[in-house]
Structure 1
Amino acid sequence: MKKFTFKGVLDGFRQTVQPQAIRQEHEIQETLKAENFAVRKTFRHGFPYSPTAFAFDPVQKLLAIGDKAGNLRILGRPGVDAYVKHEGESACAVILAEFIVNDGALVTVTADDTLHLWSIRQKVPVVVQSLKFQRERVTCIHLPVQSKWLYVGTEKGNIHVVNIDTFALSGYVINWNKAIEVVRATHPGAVIALCDNPLDANKLLMGYESGLLVLWDLKGKFAEIRWQAAEPVKSIAWHYEGKYFVSSHTDGTICSWPTRPTPKPQSLVCPHAKTNKDGALEKCKAIYKVDLKATVTGETYTIFSGGMPTDKGSKSNCITVMVGKTTTVLEMEHAVVDFIILCEKPWTCETQEPYAIAVLLQYDLVLIDLLTSGFPCFESPYPMDLHESPVTCCTYLTDCPSDLVPALYSIGRTTTSKKNAFSEREWPISGGEWSPASCSYSEIVITGHQDGSLKFWDSGAGSLQVLYKFKTAKFFEKPKNITHSSDNNIEFPFAIQIIYLCSESRRLCVAGSMGQVMLFKFRKVETHSSIFVLEIPIFSDYFDDIYGTSPEFDFTPHQVQKSESSDSDKADAAINVKSGPLRIPPGFHPQLFCFTFGPNKKLVQVTSLAVNSSYGLMAYGTEYGLVVIDIIQKNYLLSVACPDLYGGQDPYSRTPKSPKRLESKDEQSRSPSSDQATDAGYFNCLYVILRKLFEKLDGSFSRSRSSSMSSIDMSSTESVTCLAFMESFAKLKDVFSLVPTLWIGTSFGSVLTLLFNIPERDVRSLQPISITLNGKPILRLKGSITSMSFLDSFGAIIPSSYEPWRNDSKDTKDNDCSLQLSPTRTPTTANTTSNTSGGNVSSSASSSGISGSVSTGLDTIADRQFVVVASDKQTKVFDIVNQCCVNRIHLSEMDFAVKAETISMKGGTCLVTYLSNGHLLVHSLPSLKLLLDADFLPLMDLSFQTKCKQGIVDPMLSIWGQQIIVHEDTTQISKIFCFSNKGHGLYMASPTEIQKFTISAEFCQFITEMLGSLFTVREMPEQPKESFFKGLFGGGTKSIDREELFGEQSGKANRSVAKHIPGPTLDQLGQRASTAASEISRAHQLAMERGEKLNLLEERAERMANQAQDFSGTAHQLMLRYKDKKWYQL
């Protein structure tokens, strides 16, 4: 009898079951480790925001600019650009700056009355030491050339002396009560200006706010001469001969004073004052600064800022150059902050040969050529025009096609005409050294601006150079009835909000502030063509209960009769596209413009964009719903509101639809393509208005920012915040059918999909595309969806398919393949909360015809596919085939994600997230293991981008810095904060500056090689020698021993006046010095011991040598003794 076993029964069952394909799953090996990551800010580009201080080194030819936030930029030749910031209590406005000429050092004064000594002998400047004044406010400083004693003027009218080497205060003090006359009963005011006599270093000229001018004898410690001006003093300047000086005043006058006592100035002029009818001079504005420079030919340049008439029609932002009897007024675009005359020689006691004027404006840096007639400006090599129009959004692309940068550069060079007004001489700021050390990949930054312009920048090699720029506003008619309003969208209708560039197909999609979506295609030749316009309405019965109906709100099908814009296309839009053929220069040419209308014929805001050139599709999400466009046939396939995306499987309870809607209107609202994709009754489901969704078990749809904002507003509506095209699996556990899919993320945390059936290429322009709405959310997260990306079975990012760019400039069939289809209308409503799904398009070519299961990446996708979905509160990794969540992470209740993006780096993939608490997180994929958590940037540093000024929701929480920035603000901030592949990123650090950073530890080590060197060894020009006759008759230069005058013999300074603060560098140097000293002492001791041992060894060797010699002699004697004897005689 056969033995019965359970094993046999199981084997029998196995034999009866039909074998199925077993999918081999393997664990993904993640290559990225924590040691691969480190955070560092790399390069800063643009113009310093709100500059406050200006300095120039005439020998090193370096320029320093300080701003109100405590930032310091040092500029040299192109590529030499250093950025540092004052830290701690001194992180405030830089009010004064002065170079120690040709010494590799810079002195700055911050608003907290602290002097800082910076060393610029290394690539990154560092603070060596500081001196904080505790009782007096610093108002001016002066450092004579090749002197180590710094004069410091204060608000109380006193002048202190500081040793630059030790940063110690001298005992020598010039008190205000010693400077004034004994009979004077009033305080002279703050010290406005200080400068020593060019020919007599013993004489120091002091200018006080009240108009008092004092020539102080340093050795004698008394006021040699006093002058009293009628108006308050703004600045003073010596003539190089030292016989007279000039002063500028608040009434627009310049006074000349001789070096002898006189009650009135030698001359008084008001350069820009005109005589009125009464014979009196017109009132003028203050002359803020005046300076005198002379040439060898005997010409004296008198240059000043301000002094224009006060009448309304006069120019205010001007620099005036007076040479002899010639006066030239140079009008500036912005307010003048300061100016410096650049001279060939640094010594003030000789003709200095001025060759240029560096003018620091409120929003620009201008250099004026003094050696060319007409005083033209130099063309700046720095990207100082980044903020020519305020930046509203930006995109950062790394590792883009190698031919894209040259293509953009060649187009930009041909379309941009060089202005003849620029000087032909070289840029005079030529300090430092820099050798380009570019990476093996190209980098492009695209900035969108408030005036509708886009600029493409080459950001490789640590620089930022403009490649190409164009304005979208030129395709529109000038807006009518646009007035200043609190609504930025109305005031700036062309402002760029979202940028999406497919770098492989060179298709550019842009969304504007009035809801306009513009699709461009790159061409190398000029064309004359019209712009195709689509007007797409969105409406739904769901809106009737929220917005009501308007008598004039009557959406009727709009038949597009032509492929170009016409007067009938303009409707009642606030902006209208220009009609007729337009001349379009080489570059990005408009292919299709779309306008979407919502309830009450309101232009809707675009919240997300996605383009797939391989499918020939463009999709954009709005604050109300979703629109899908066929960019080949130039018609829209779908215009649907967010509630309609769910069909009958809507997980939210919404208010029932209004019974007003007629069936005929429902039929009119559908597009031909959407009818093929959905059932007739698909949109006949009931909709109910959004109810409270903060549930204890699943708060997936809360847009919370803190505990007090944990529930959704009843009036809030759902919007499409993220879109991504991808070929993914259509059914559960179906690993053999990959179909073109559009993944949709909403503000309520839902993730849905649309499936497309795309005809073959040969009939693509004729046959329609069918769409399938899945309805049921594939995934639900807490918060608003911000990004989606896809991974293959190896954990690598799946590249989106694309159509490679080809030069089709000779092909004019592009405008002939469009069909004349009627616009459809469907609905949506929601608050705008958006991010683009990404601007980085990877490689992978598409097949000639994409239909059904045709794919472009089957070899890498294999049989597994993951989608990484990030919201502002959660991140989930979802297995598409098995329809299950693999990993997830939750943010704390008080924090939210401002920006999240999946990037590739060092052969691995990771998720980078910038949080509201200022931290930067890096998680490996797909395990979501935390690799980096670094305190990076406080969110409040980006508050200049906020639109909602009433951002404080909970006053108590605002005390701890919470809820100051609300959801609408973070949406705008996310548009100027970018992550990119290779571990790079950037953000707008101020309205005028871009700050780049990296999270790659390898690049952090490489970055030093890319920085330029600020300090170079240069020979100091020889001081002019005194002529025989000047020395004989006492007219030559008189020197002074400042060390004897201000040194130890002057006594000890009052400790309560200023406090010395050693910099971190000094402490490090001290530790290094002590360590080095101990090492040297130890080495010396070891050398001594080794020497003693060598001496002993030498003595022993000598003794052994003597003994060997004695033994040799004895042996020789013994040999001679027995040499002649026979053996038997021994």
Structure 2
Amino acid sequence: MAGRMLKFIRGKGQQPSAERQKLQNELFAFRKTVQHGFPNRASALAWDPLLRIAAIGTATGALKVYGRPGVELYGQHTNPDSAVTQIKFVSGTGRLVSLCDDNSLHLWEINEKSLVELKTLTFEGKNKKISAVCIECSGEHLLLGTEGGNIYALDLNTFSISEDVIYQDVVMQNCPEDFKVNPGAVESLCEHPKVPSRLLIGYNRGLVVLWDRAAAAPTHTFVSNQQLESLCWNDDGDHFTSSHNDGSYVTWEAGGAGERALKEPVTPYGPYPCKAISKLLNRTSVDGDQITIYAGGMPRASYSDKYTVTVQQGDKHVAFDFTSRVIDFFTTTPVPPDGAPAPEQRPDSPAAVLASTVNQTAAYLVVLAEEELVVIDLRDSAWRPVKLPYLVSIHASAVTTAQLVDNVAPHLTDNIIAAGDQQTANLYSDAAWPISGGTVDEETSTEEEGGRQLLLTGHEDGSVRFWDVTGVAMTPLYKYTTAQLFSGEEIAENTEQNDEEEWPPFKRVGTFDPYSDDPRLAVKRVILCPLTGMLTIGGAAGQIIVASLKTSANTAEVKTLSVNIVSDRDGFVWKGHDQLTLRPGPYCFQQGYHVTSVTQLVPPAAVTSLAAAWEWGLVCAGTAHGLALTDATRATALTHLCTLQHDHSGAGDTPISRRKSFKKSLRESFRRLRKGRSQRRATTAASPTSPTQPPKKPLDKPLEDADVKPVERAIEARSTDDAFGSMVRCLYFARTFLVNSQTATPTLWAGTNNGGVYAFTIAVPNTNKRKDESPTCQLAKEIQLKHRAPVIGITVLDPDPSDVSFTYSYLK
């Protein structure tokens, strides 16, 4: 017995041979090629002004580099539980350094269309937690400020800590007496924009020291009575600005012999207590004016829940309002013309890097929030955002369904793009995309001959978004909203006017909005016909919307239809939500999709399956109660089928309770049998040894319900699939030889959650009569699969008209 068990265990642990593994890899290899959408849990941001590429790190250890549309590189830290906290580019070299929250440093390089990790260093030691990072303009060292107050230099060539250390004790020798005890952790490090040997060191408690690295001595000290958050030089290097945790910032003179503030501390949203200004930038606008950009600083009492980045240029003042936490931001210079030298041809000397850092003309503001990326055109008079070619937040509203459509007709794609451009004509700036580094191979940028590949996503707010996923970049094309058809979604007309009069001057930017006023609007199924462009949408409240693509605006009535799936079940009671209320027509539709008909299923349960056959003008939808087939051309109902069993429908004298009592009686009967069998075995075993022993009392009389007290076991939670066997999981239109072997006829196939398959035959009128007559439909076959597993897909195979078969997919 032991030997067989050991053999069994060894057999379980056997691995396939090397040849078999090679064969598996060749036949079943799966690798990620492209990652679409916004990174999950973004945590860090960096910018290379020479190569014009950006990097984003995440809390899951992912590192992503982006250039012009089509240039995307991915890397993953070995420890996925370690979040990326900071990223620094070695400008012009294609290298970058990432810092993770486990105090580890990683050197990466862009190499042949990939992001390769070259070296790793874990910075260990007491009080050596890295709190600030600054890279030298020469690209030789990375300066590391620690919580202990010391500043270390990391040699980027050897990726090791050099002996050049700026000790806090040495820095404190010429500092005021108040800070000789403990100035706190190093909060910020900034090189002088024109004299790299001068380093601005900011400590947590408010002390700022201008340190001369050549002389190894401080030249100036600056004292603030508020906790320091960030430091920033101006372009000339004659003064710098410090931001603090009380929502104020101070501008200090550093060019001469003075060690004083140029102005009194400025609290832009005071005088009441304000949140900290976590980061501040002083830049020069394209017009030559000074522009100040900072994150935070909102009044605590009124706007503590706001996530803002404020931009001030003279009298112009806007607080950009985000719906998720602001991670970081940077400014970029104008996009160079097409004739500019390629990144690999640009000089990467320290002088060139220094020149790039001095030229801080702010043409764009790039803000990374926790759930989206927003780019503001600072040259635009209204400071409008730039339309994103990628990195769009797909989950701006929760994704509830999706459909990938191949080989979409070119004219349909062009019309969808034109409708999308019309939608966003005044919302976005026309400026070029500022993250423009890298090159795209012609082979990967050309479209397939058969047409583009579109992805449709349905969302909780009732919208359907169209995306171009033909290439590497996932570009948004068009957004269709179904909420406009139903009441309860009124939009305030004077929203912008109220915002202009409000202080602070908030301006909502970004698309991330995870909240939905009415969950019934959620899109559960969506279908796009790649040839006709017809759009079919199934919603959470049983609404089926059919829309066609138009190239111009129009005002029209919408055909409505109601289909009661459970009409033949007496006593059925729907205890769910009510159906949505249609607004009174006519409806005004802009260029794009125009609704032609709206069908309401009764009861208004969520649509679980959807199919459309525009060759015949038919649409079929399934719910947890059955299915309904409609003529989409004439907006009429053809047939419906209720798949509810009697114990689910509420019909009969003992609704639902019959099923429960039947299950309970079966359970108790099995328990009785098991107990009786065990008692009989015990009696048989006792008879030979003690024949004179009287039988036990329970065997003197038959078993009764009172003698057996079944112990009710805890009922385990089951999935919805197991609970609703009547749910229609899949629908499929096909022309097949179901009626006879001579003529293929239109058919409809449906699969349910409990292994039921229904086949319908459809008679479609001739083309010249189709507008006046509707097709007819009748149930032809009903199949019950023995395993009763959910049928999730059906495909009809017709190799021989005399032998029609179908394949199906099911859940085990």
Coarse TM-score class (shorter-chain normalised): 0.7 to 0.9
Alpha-carbon distance between aligned partners in 2 of 1:47 and 1:714, rounded to the nearest angstrom: 35
> How far has the Cα of 1:395 moved from its partner?
0.7
> How far has the Cα of 1:165 moved from its partner?
1.4
> How far has the Cα of 1:339 moved from its partner?
1.9
Alpha-carbon distance between aligned partners in 1 of 2:459 and 2:239, rounded to the nearest angstrom: 51
Q: Kindly tell me: are residues 520 and 712 of structure 1, through their superposed partners in 2, closer, same or farther at Cα, counting changes over 3 Å?
A: closer
Q: Which residue matches 1:141?
A: 133
Q: Which residue matches 1:439?
A: 448
Q: Which residue matches 2:30?
A: 39
Q: Which residue matches 2:339?
A: none
Q: Which residue matches 1:674?
A: none
State whether structure 2 residue 390 is matched by structure 1 residue 394: no
* Larger CA deviation: 237-246 vs 33-42: 33-42
> 1:18-29 to 2 correspondence within 5 Å?
none
Alpha-carbon distance between aligned partners in 1 of 2:516 and 2:727, rounded to the nearest angstrom: 18
One of 762, 785, 790 as aligned partner of 1:784: 790
Alpha-carbon distance between aligned partners in 2 of 1:471 and 1:656, rounded to the nearest angstrom: 36
State whether structure 2 residue 636 is matched by structure 1 residue 635: yes
> How far has the Cα of 1:105 moved from its partner?
0.7
> 1:965-976 to 2 correspondence within 5 Å?
none
Q: Kindly tell me: are residues 591 and 449 of structure 1, through their superposed partners in 2, closer, same or farther at Cα, counting changes over 3 Å?
A: same
Q: Kindly tell me: are residues 692 and 782 of structure 1, through their superposed partners in 2, closer, same or farther at Cα, counting changes over 3 Å?
A: farther
8 Å CA contact 1:296–1:351 kept in 2: the answer is no
Alpha-carbon distance between aligned partners in 1 of 2:592 and 2:291, rounded to the nearest angstrom: 46
Q: Which residue matches 2:702?
A: none
> 1:807-956 to 2 correspondence within 5 Å?
863-873=802-812
State whether structure 2 residue 515 is matched by structure 1 residue 509: no
Alpha-carbon distance between aligned partners in 2 of 1:127 and 1:94, rounded to the nearest angstrom: 14
Alpha-carbon distance between aligned partners in 1 of 2:648 and 2:378, rounded to the nearest angstrom: 72
8 Å CA contact 1:358–1:367 kept in 2: the answer is yes
Cα deviation, 1:659-704, whole Å, max 9, x if unaligned, reads 499xxxxxxxxxxxxxxxxxxxxxxxxx967976999xxxxxxxxx
One of 242, 245, 263 as aligned partner of 2:240: 245
8 Å CA contact 1:655–1:690 kept in 2: the answer is no
Q: Which residue matches 1:580?
A: 585
What is the root-mean-square deviation in Å for CA atoms of aligned residues?
A: 3.9
8 Å CA contact 1:227–1:261 kept in 2: the answer is no
Q: Kindly tell me: are residues 34 and 730 of structure 1, through their superposed partners in 2, closer, same or farther at Cα, counting changes over 3 Å?
A: farther
Q: Kindly tell me: are residues 506 and 225 of structure 1, through their superposed partners in 2, closer, same or farther at Cα, counting changes over 3 Å?
A: closer
> How far has the Cα of 1:656 moved from its partner?
9.3
2:138 partner letter? Q
In structure 2, the residue corresponding to 1:173 is in which secondary structure?
coil
Alpha-carbon distance between aligned partners in 2 of 1:495 and 1:756, rounded to the nearest angstrom: 31
One of 639, 648, 652 as aligned partner of 1:658: 652
Q: Kindly tell me: are residues 872 and 171 of structure 1, through their superposed partners in 2, closer, same or farther at Cα, counting changes over 3 Å?
A: farther
1:604 partner letter? A
One of 713, 718, 729 as aligned partner of 2:726: 718
2:734 partner letter? M
Q: Which residue matches 1:358?
A: 366
One of 325, 330, 333 as aligned partner of 1:340: 330
> How far has the Cα of 1:759 moved from its partner?
3.9
Q: Which residue matches 1:62?
A: 53
> How far has the Cα of 1:235 moved from its partner?
0.4
8 Å CA contact 2:397–2:515 kept in 1: the answer is no
Alpha-carbon distance between aligned partners in 2 of 1:531 and 1:479, rounded to the nearest angstrom: 18
2:744 partner letter? L
> How far has the Cα of 1:870 moved from its partner?
0.9
In structure 1, the residue corresponding to 2:322 is in which secondary structure?
coil
Q: TM-score w.r.t. structure 1 length?
A: 0.55
8 Å CA contact 1:107–1:115 kept in 2: the answer is yes
Q: Which residue matches 1:12?
A: none
State whether structure 2 residue 442 is matched by structure 1 residue 455: no
1:869 partner letter? Y
8 Å CA contact 2:61–2:76 kept in 1: the answer is yes
8 Å CA contact 2:231–2:241 kept in 1: the answer is yes
1:165 partner letter? N
One of 175, 183, 186 as aligned partner of 1:188: 183
Q: Which residue matches 1:847?
A: none
Q: Which residue matches 1:589?
A: 594
1:620 partner letter? A
> How far has the Cα of 1:233 moved from its partner?
0.5
1:329 partner letter? V
> How far has the Cα of 1:723 moved from its partner?
0.8
Structure 2: where are the runs of 5+ without partners? 1-22, 335-351, 491-513, 668-714
1:358 partner letter? V
Cα deviation, 1:986-1029, whole Å, max 9, x if unaligned, reads xxxxxxxxxxxxxxxxxxxxxxxxxxxxxxxxxxxxxxxxxxxx
One of 82, 88, 91 as aligned partner of 1:92: 82
In structure 2, the residue corresponding to 1:366 is in which secondary structure?
strand
> 1:114-513 to 2 correspondence within 5 Å?
114-135=104-125, 136-180=128-172, 186-219=181-214, 221=216, 223=218, 225-259=220-254, 265-274=261-270, 281-293=271-283, 300-312=290-302, 316-323=306-313, 326=315, 328-334=317-323, 335-343=325-333, 346-347=353-354, 350=358, 352-371=360-379, 373=381, 375-382=383-390, 384=392, 386-413=394-421, 415-416=422-423, 418-419=425-426, 422-434=428-440, 435=442, 436-441=445-450, 442-478=452-488, 491-513=518-540
8 Å CA contact 1:193–1:206 kept in 2: the answer is yes
Alpha-carbon distance between aligned partners in 1 of 2:418 and 2:360, rounded to the nearest angstrom: 42
> How far has the Cα of 1:745 moved from its partner?
0.7
> 1:977-988 to 2 correspondence within 5 Å?
none
Alpha-carbon distance between aligned partners in 2 of 1:507 and 1:369, rounded to the nearest angstrom: 36
Cα deviation, 1:481-506, whole Å, max 9, x if unaligned, reads xxxxxx99973332211112222333
> 1:974-1123 to 2 correspondence within 5 Å?
none
2:207 partner letter? L
Alpha-carbon distance between aligned partners in 1 of 2:650 and 2:582, rounded to the nearest angstrom: 38
Cα deviation, 1:821-859, whole Å, max 9, x if unaligned, reads xxxxxxxxxxxxxxxxxxxxxxxxxxxxxxxxxxxxxxx
Alpha-carbon distance between aligned partners in 1 of 2:310 and 2:489, rounded to the nearest angstrom: 38
Q: Kindly tell me: are residues 507 and 179 of structure 1, through their superposed partners in 2, closer, same or farther at Cα, counting changes over 3 Å?
A: same
Alpha-carbon distance between aligned partners in 1 of 2:716 and 2:574, rounded to the nearest angstrom: 34
8 Å CA contact 2:129–2:148 kept in 1: the answer is yes
8 Å CA contact 1:318–1:329 kept in 2: the answer is no
1:790 partner letter? V
Higher-Rg member (1/2): 1
Cα deviation, 1:37-72, whole Å, max 9, x if unaligned, reads 532222233333443211111111112222223233
Alpha-carbon distance between aligned partners in 2 of 1:257 and 1:350, rounded to the nearest angstrom: 19
2:476 partner letter? V
In structure 2, the residue corresponding to 1:606 is in which secondary structure?
coil
In structure 2, the residue corresponding to 1:735 is in which secondary structure?
coil
Alpha-carbon distance between aligned partners in 1 of 2:424 and 2:259, rounded to the nearest angstrom: 57
- Larger relative contact order (CA 8 Å, sep ≥ 6): 1
Paired positions, count = 689
